[in-house]
Amino acid sequence: MRTGRYQYLLVLGLLAMLSSFGRSQDEWSPLPGRVVQWATVLLPAYVLLQVVLLPVAVLRVVSRARTEAMDALGPAGVKVSFVSLMSNAPNSPLSISLSGTGNAPTYLLGANTTSLDFGNVNVGNAGSLNATLTNTGNSAVTISGVTVTGTGFSTSGITPGIILMPNQSATMNVAFAPLTAGSLTGSVSVVSNATNSPTTISLSGSGVPPVSSGPQFYVSTTGNDANSGTSLSAPWQTIQKAMNNATTGSTVNIMAGTYNERLTLGVSGTAGNYITFQPNGFSVPSGGCGGYTGVTCGGDQVILDYTYLGTVSDGVPYLHISGKSHIRVQGITFQNFTTHELSSIFNKGVFIESSNFIEVKNNKFLNIKDTGPHDGTSALGAFRITSSNNLLVYGNEFGNMVTNYGETLTDDVNSTFFTAENNWIHDTDGIGIDLGNGANNFTIRSNKLEYISIKRDGSVWYGNPSIAVYNVGGNTGVIERNFVDHAGVGFEVQPEPGDQATHDVTIRNNVVQNSQTGIVLGTWYSNTDGSSVYNINVFNNTFYRNGTGIVVRPMTSASVSWENNIFANNGTAYVNTLNWNPGKADYNLYFGGGTGPGANSVTLNPLFNNALAGDFSLQPTSPAINAGDPNTSATVVGAADFAGNPRIVGGRIDIGAYEAQ
C-alpha cells in the first residue's frame, strides 16, 4: 500500500514538472501540443515504478530536478534537459531525458491584398472595396492610426486603438469618390505596434465622366427659344431659356459661341439627379483640366461676354442662384463684367444664396472689375456664397479681378460644407479667398494663389497689401496644400468688428513664398484682447523668401499651436511687437531672418531640392527630416503632405510642407 502511494505521488510530481516544461523564462504556460511527447516519457517511468520501490526522498529529487530544468530553459528556442532519480536501486541514478520549445512573442499585421484597384468610377459617384487586416503573429497587435493619401480616397471601419488578438481579423472599407475625370492613385497606411508596421495598401482608380441617362437639351446662338430644345436640330437660343425649363436629371448642352445674357437659375435637381449646364461635348481628360493645369477641357468653347453691358450699377449678378439645389455648372467662360457701386447697391458677379449642393467646376472667370474709386464707396463681390451648404468650387480660373473693397471668392454668412479645391486665383487687387461671418466646416485645398494685391511689376494695389486666404470670422475648417506666391499676406486669421469669432481652424502643409508676410495670427483690432481668435493650429507649412515669416497679434494663446513649420530666407522670421504670448510654438526651423520661440527649434539650412523653381521637397541630408514634434497628431497634420504623399514616414514627422519619402 505504501509503495503504491509512493508511486502515485511520484507520478503526480512528474506530471507537475512536465506540464511546466517547455516554457520560456518570462512566461510559463502549458504546451498542449506536447501531450504525446510527454506520454512517451511518463508511461515507461510509471512501468518502472511498478517494480522498483522508491523511498519518499525520491520526491525531493524530483522537486530539485524540476527546479534545475526550469533554470536551464533560458531564452526562447529548443531546449533539452533531464530528470535524475536517486534511489537504493543498483541502477541508481535513473535519468529521464526532457525536451521542449519556448516560443518568443511575435507582432505581425498582414493584409489580404497589397493593392486595391477601383477601375472606372463615374465622377460624382463612389466605389467601395474592402481589405482584411489579420494578426498573423502570436501576440496582441494594437492599431494606432490609419492614414490615406490621394484625392477622392477615404477609409472606414478601423478606428485607432483597436486591438487584434492572434489570428483575429478586421475589415477596412476603402471608398473612391472622384471629383474629376482622370487616373488617380493613393495609398492606405495602417500604423501599429507590429514589427512590420506600417501595413500599406496601394490604391488606384479612374474617374470617368458620367454617361447621362437623363433628358438632353441643347442651346445654340442660331437656335430659337420657341423650339423644343431637345435635339441639335431644334435647339434653344438662350441659356436662360434652359435655366427656366431644364428638368431634373437633365444635361443642357451649350453649342460653341459667345452669348450675351445675365443668368438667373429657375430650376432644381434632386439628389443623384443633378441638372448640368455645360458646353456641348464637354469632357475632362486624364489628369484633369482647367484651373492651373494648363490643360484645356474638351468640348465646345462657350463664352458669356458682358462687354455689351458697359458699366453696371444695378446690383444684378451675371449668374444668380437663389434657393436652388443639385445644380452643376462647368466648362464655361464668363468674362468682361464691369461694375461701379452707386446708391450703396452692392454689385456681385456670381451670387449663390440659400442654396444646397451646387457644383461650379472647370470654369473661367476673367476680367471681372469694379471701376469705382478706392475710398470705401464701391466694392464688388466677384463670386459670393451666403447662407448655403454643400458647395463645391473646383478647378476654376479667376483671373484679372478688381474688386476694390470686395473679394474674389467669398464664403459667408453661416454657409457650411464649402470646398474650394484646385482653383487658380491670380492677378487680383484684393482678397483672394474670404471665409467670414460664421462660415464653417470649410475645406480650402490645393489652390494656387498668385499676385494677390501685388502687381506683376512689383507695385502694390492702392499701396495696401491684401490677403490670399483670409479667415475673418469663419470657424471649423481646414486650409491645406495651397501654394501662395506674391501676395500681401499668405494667411490671416482674425474677425473684423461685428464678425463672429475665428476659431477651430487648421492651416497645414501649405507653401507661401515671395510675399510681404507669410501668416498673421491674431487680431489687428485690439492690442489687449485676443479672445476672438482661438483653437488655431498651424502645422508643417513652408514660408520662403517673404518679407516677414509670421506676425503674432492678440489671440487666446493657450489654444494656439504652430509647429513643424519652416521659415527660410525671410527678411524677418518672427515679429511680435506686443510681446504677446505666442502660444505653443516649437519644432520650427528658422534659417535666415533670425529665430522665433521654441525650445526644440532647428536653425540650419533646410536643404530644399530646388527652392528657386518652387520645389520645397527635402534633400536626403536635410536637417528637417524626422525633426518635427514626435508627438504630432496625425489628425492635426492630415494624411498627405503638400505633394499628396504620406504625411508621416519613418515614424516621425518632418518639418515643413513636404515629407521625405
**pLDDT tens, position by position, 135-149:** 999 999 999 989 888
Please indicate, yes or no, if residue 180 is contained in any of the structural domains.
Answer: yes
Strands 467-472 and 489-493: parallel
Give pLDDT < 50 ranges for the chain: 1-74
pLDDT of residue 103: 77
Q: Are 59 and 97 part of one and the same domain?
A: yes
Give percent of the chain with pLDDT exceeding 70.
87
What is the SS3 assignment for 242? Answer: helix
What pLDDT is stored for residue 14 in this prediction? 42
Q: Is residue 247 part of a domain?
A: no
Same domain flag for 9 and 27: yes
In the chain, the amino acid numbered 463 is G
Q: Is residue 387 part of a domain?
A: no
How many contiguous H segments (helices) and E segments (strands) does the chain have?
A: 5, 50
Task: List all residues 6 or more positions away from 641 whose beta carbon is below 8 Å from its beta carbon.
Answer: 481, 509, 540, 647, 657, 658, 659
| 95 and 141 fall within a common domain | no
Q: CA neighbours within 13 Å on the CB side: how many for 6?
A: 18
Q: Domain boundary residue among 102, 126, 154?
A: 102
Per the domain annotation, does 524 fall within a domain? no
Calpha distance 550→593 (Å, rounded)? 11
Query: Same domain, yes or no, for 29 and 121?
Result: no
Residue 227, number of CB atoms within 10 A of its CB: 17
Residue 98 and residue 118 in one domain: no
Domain identity same for 92 and 143 = no
Cβ–Cβ under 8 Å, residues 203 and 188: yes
Residue 657 lies in a domain: no
Residue 594 is assigned to a structural domain of this protein: no
Residue 375's contacts (CB-CB under 8 Å, 6 or more residues apart) are none
pLDDT at 429 (0 to 100): 98
Q: What is the DSSP string of 538-598?
A: EES-EEES-SEEEEE-S--GGGEEEES-EEES-SEEEE-TT-----EEES-EEESS---S-
Phi, psi torsion values for 292, nearest 5 degrees: -100, 15
Q: Which amino acid is at 577?
A: T
DSSP assignment letter at 180: S
Q: Are strands 127-135 and 109-111 parallel, antiparallel or unpaired?
A: antiparallel
Query: How buried is 625 (Cβ within 10 angstroms: 0-12 exposed, 13-18 middle, 19+ buried)?
Result: buried
Task: Quickly count: other Cβ atoms within 10 Å of residue 441's Cβ.
Answer: 17
307: left (phi over 0), alpha (psi -120 to 50) or beta: alpha
pLDDT at 179: 80
Q: How far apart are CA 452 and CA 271, in angstroms?
A: 37
Q: How far apart are the first and last CA of the chain?
A: 78
How many domains, the chain?
2
The CATH number for 196's domain is 2.60.40.10
d(CA 238, CA 223): 8
C-alpha cell, 273: 439627379
Clarify whether residues 50 and 89 are in a common domain: yes
pLDDT in tens, 468-502: 999 999 999 999 999 999 999 999 999 999 999 99
Q: Which residues contact 102 (CB under 8 A, 6 or more apart)?
A: 22, 23, 24, 25, 73, 75, 76, 77, 79
CA–CA dist 408, 400 (Å, integer): 10
Q: Which of 593, 589, 582, 611 is nearest to 522 (CA)?
A: 582
Q: What is the pLDDT of residue 123?
A: 79
How many whole angstroms from its chain centre is CA 117?
Answer: 20
Q: What is the pLDDT of residue 32?
A: 38
Task: Tell me which of 208, 238, 266 is where a domain ends.
Answer: 208
Q: Which strand (E) or helix (H) includes residue 103?
A: none
* Structural domain includes residue 278: no
- The pTM for the full model equals 0.76
* Beta bridge mates, 477: 505
Nearest-angstrom CA–CA distance, 472 and 461: 21
Out of 174, 208, 242, pick the residue that ends a domain. 208
What is the predicted pLDDT for the residue at 210? Answer: 64
Do both 91 and 117 map to the same domain?
no
57 within 8 A of 30, measured Cβ to Cβ:
no
Helices 35-51 + 2-20 axis angle, to 10: 160
Q: Are 183 and 128 members of one domain?
A: yes
Give the residues across from 450 on adjacent strands.
426, 485
Ramachandran sector of residue 293 (left: φ over 0; alpha: ψ -120 to 50; beta: rest): alpha
* 201 neighbors 111 (Cβ within 8 angstroms): yes
Are residues 87 and 154 located together in one domain of the fold? no
Strands annotated E in 221-344:
251-254, 257-259, 263-264, 275-279, 302-305, 311-312, 319-322, 325-330, 333-339
Query: Are residues 75 and 119 both part of a single domain?
Result: no
Determine phi and psi for 12, rounding to 5 degrees: -60, -40
**Same domain? 124 vs 177:** yes
Please list, in sequence order, all residues whose beta carbon lies within 8 angstroms of the beta carbon of residue 1, skipping any fewer than 6 positions away: none
DSSP character at residue 488:
S
Could you list the residue range(s) of the whole structural domain that residue 142 is in?
Answer: 109-208
Q: In Å, what is the CA distance from 638 to each residue of 412, 509, 641? A: 25, 9, 8
- C-alpha angle 118/120/122, rounded to 5°? 115
In a domain, 176, yes or no: yes
Pair type for strands 608-610 and 615-618: antiparallel
